[in-house]
Amino acid sequence: MKIRRLLIAVSVLVTVLPEAIPAVQAQGQGASGTATQTRPIEPEEFVRLAYSSASLQEQAAKLAAGRETRPEVKSYATAAVGYRTGLLQRIEAFARERNMPLPSVKEFEHQVVIENLEPLDYLALSRRYAEVQMQALDQELGIYRAASRSPHQAIKTFADEILPELEKQREDAQKMSDAIRP
């Protein structure tokens, strides 16, 4: 039963969550056929997605840091809790300064991921947490990259400030994942 829930969560993450990244296909000019163009992300959409993603990763990090996991995972997760707490505070301040509402609940897909992490322990939790981090960071980087191309200067500035931090988080998550790979 646990494996089935885990597979459902992975399927949701892989199929549904990519739709959260704001991209549209546009017909290309010339001989190249089809080109991918990214549409601008609206401020409210950016705040909703960024906040939900940071909340997911904070909650997952607290879970992995608070349980018996591989040392590499525990170390990464402990550092991630601090980073995510700070990032959530920055997103909250960003939204508050612009009178934008914060989501009251996580995106459904994010909640499913947490529910499927909770019953796992040691090696299963370590490996699944590493997978979740890699996927979540890839999605989050897509959100922030779209925001960095926004015509809304405040979002662009905020995203440009956060992107190098997220890229470092992604590098560290890759190292963690490589260390616990079977």
Residues contacting residue 62 through CB under 8 Å, at least 6 positions apart = 77, 81
Binned average pLDDT, 10 residues per bin, the chain of 182 residues: 45 42 33 50 95 96 96 97 98 97 87 93 95 97 96 97 98 97 88
pLDDT in tens, 34-49: 334 467 899 999 999 9
Rg of the chain over Cα atoms, rounded to whole angstroms, equals 17
Judge contact between 160 and 150, C-beta under 8 A.
no
At 15 the pLDDT is 38
pLDDT in tens, 166-181: 999 999 999 999 999 9
Percent of the chain at pLDDT above 70?
Answer: 79
Question: Whose CA is closest to 57, among 89, 87, 14?
Answer: 87
At 182 the pLDDT is 85
Judge contact between 52 and 110, C-beta under 8 A.
yes
